[in-house]
Amino acid sequence: MHGVPMRPSVLSPTGFLVLGALLAVQIGCANGPLPYLTAMNPSMRRQWEADEQYQPTLHRQLAEVDELRDGAARLSEGEQRHWAGEMKYIVETHDSPQLRAAAVQALAAFTVPQAADGLRVAVKDGDPLVRIAACKAWGQRASRESPERLAEVLGSDSDVDVRIVAARELGRFNQPLAFQALGLALNDKDPSLRYRAIDSLKKASGRDYGNDVEAWQKFAQGVDPGPEYQPSLAERARELLF
Integer Cα distance of 35 and 135 in angstroms: 26
Q: Which domain holds residue 104?
A: 1-141
Residues 72 and 137 in one domain: yes
Residues 128 and 197 in one domain: no
Integer Cα distance of 175 and 170 in angstroms: 10
Q: What is the dihedral of CA 126, 127, 128, 132, to 10 degrees?
A: -90
pLDDT in the model for residue 9: 35
Give the chain's end-to-end CA distance (angstroms, integer): 50
Alpha helices in the chain (DSSP H): 27-30, 42-51, 58-70, 77-93, 97-109, 115-122, 128-141, 146-156, 160-170, 176-185, 191-205, 213-220, 233-241
pLDDT in the model for residue 213: 94
- Give residue 183's Cα distance to chain centre: 22
Domain-terminating residue out of 112, 141, 170 = 141
pTM of structure = 0.75
Residues 118 and 180 in one domain: no
> Mean pLDDT throughout 117-143?
96
> Mean pLDDT throughout 117-144?
96
Lowest mean pLDDT among 24-33, 65-74, 152-161: 24-33
CATH number of the CATH domain containing 242? 1.25.10.10
* pLDDT tens per residue, range 143-165: 899 999 999 999 999 999 999 99
Residues 117 and 153 in one domain: no
> Mean pLDDT throughout 72-85?
94
Number of domains in the chain: 2
* pLDDT tens per residue, range 40-58: 455 545 554 555 555 568 8
Residues 6 and 124 in one domain: yes
Residues 68 and 46 in one domain: yes
Q: Phi and psi (nearest 5°) for 12?
A: -95, 160
Residues 99 and 151 in one domain: no
pLDDT in the model for residue 58: 87
Lowest mean pLDDT among 56-60, 72-76, 121-125, 177-181: 56-60
Domain-terminating residue out of 141, 164, 182 = 141
Q: Closest Cα to residue 217, out of 233, 189, 198, 236?
A: 198
Residues 178 and 66 in one domain: no
Domain-terminating residue out of 141, 168, 202 = 141
